[in-house]
Chains A and B, each alone.
Chain A
Amino acid sequence: MVMQAATLGRNGVQDFILLRCSAIILALYAIFIVGFLALTPELTYQSWAGFFGHIGTKVFSFVALIAFLAHAWIGLWQVLTDYVKPAGMRGMLQFLLNVVILAYVGFGIFALWGV
């Protein structure tokens, strides 16, 4: 058994499922946003505000933010365990990157709240 306290899931299977599910959600969200951009004839403040004011958009954006959190958390842990061998440095980097991820998610949630 390999120690892996720093990742998100309790084992490789959970990480794998979280990674795949969050990837699907992010892909759907990307299609959703691109679809909005393509179908909106003229992008104005009003059309953006209307779009993000809609409860459906808000919920989907919130779900996408959580998916981003999981995806980036696990993905960066995998990259760091591949390329950064000294444990102390890896721990530091992981901590900093996770704080950045959380900050982005926090920022996103407050931005959604604001509309």
Chain B
Amino acid sequence: MKLTFSIYRYNPDVDNKPKMQDYSLEVAEGSDIMVLDALILLKEQDPTLAFRRSCREGVCGSDGLNMNGKNGLACITPLSDLTKKGGKIVIRPLPGLPVVRDLVVDMSQFYKQYERIKPYLITDGAQPPAGEFKQSPEERAKLDGLYECILCACCSTACPSFWWNPDKFVGPSGLLQAYRFLADSRDTATEERLADLDDAFSVFRCHGIMNCVSVCPKGLNPTKAIGHIKSMLLQRSV
């Protein structure tokens, strides 16, 4: 089976502007490989093709890409998902972030927002215990669906609010993590965290479009977490 790929190419050192380049790849009939495997085979044809990857099993979050218009991890997206409708398989970098080269984007803005929400336990200056920092099973259960985020940026780069205001709106990924620490029974900085989020942009630019939910490769629900943050902010101010 011969598949055609249309891949976004841009090398700022030599290209004036980005272009889409076609590649074709022979894949054994009846077999199915992941998009990342296909990219690795294409890189054998054309070693100048640049993309990121590391774990190749959906754990590290390096290979977030836009495939046929939808963000996801190349390493856990089977080619069969993209060939159903026929036609070319279109691969682009994650939307909305500056392109470093080909499919590699500059994630600084995304990490800056992550850093901003203080993604670590704050314990009022008290030294956390040397051994386990205990939680009841119920308290621990509150972190399920939050801690699994691998920071792949598929969600934030699918979110129009993040496209328009990446410097002011934290974005779904950062907000999911913000809620992860707001919901943590061991964290003492709830009030400070909320005070940092109550402006008109940081949280409230989320209009519940739920693009983030539809693309998250880990099946997480940032919109729900954002809903919880909004109600915490509301409760604090009424």
A12 at the interface (CB under 8 A from B): yes
A4 touches B200 (CB 8 A): yes
Given contacts A2-B199, A4-B200, contact A12 B233 (CB under 8 A): yes
**8 A Cβ contacts from A1-34 to B:** 1-2, 4, 7, 9, 11-17
User: CB-defined interface of B190-224 with A at 8 Å, one 1/0 digit per residue?
Assistant: 00000001111111110000000000000000000
* Chain B contact residues: helix, strand, loop or mixed: loop
A13 touches B168 (CB 8 A): no
| A9 and B203 alpha carbons, distance in the complex (Å) | 15
A2 touches B200 (CB 8 A): yes
- Provide the residues of chain B in CB contact with A13, threshold 8 Å: 198, 204, 233-234, 236-237
B165 at the interface (CB under 8 A from A): yes
| A63 and B205 alpha carbons, distance in the complex (Å) | 27
* Residue of B whose beta carbon sits closest to that of A11: B198
| A11 and B203 alpha carbons, distance in the complex (Å) | 11
| A59 and B118 alpha carbons, distance in the complex (Å) | 48
B120 at the interface (CB under 8 A from A): no
- Provide the residues of chain A in CB contact with B164, threshold 8 Å: 81-83
| A60 and B152 alpha carbons, distance in the complex (Å) | 50
CB distance from B146 to the nearest CB of A (A): 22
Most buried by B among A4, A7, A12: A12
A82 touches B200 (CB 8 A): no
- Provide the residues of chain B in CB contact with A9, threshold 8 Å: 200
| A9 and B199 alpha carbons, distance in the complex (Å) | 10
- Provide the residues of chain B in CB contact with A17, threshold 8 Å: 234, 238
Please provide the 8 A-B residue pairs with the shortest distance between their CB atoms, ordered closest to farther. A12-B204, A12-B200, A82-B164, A2-B199, A13-B237, A4-B200, A2-B201, A12-B199
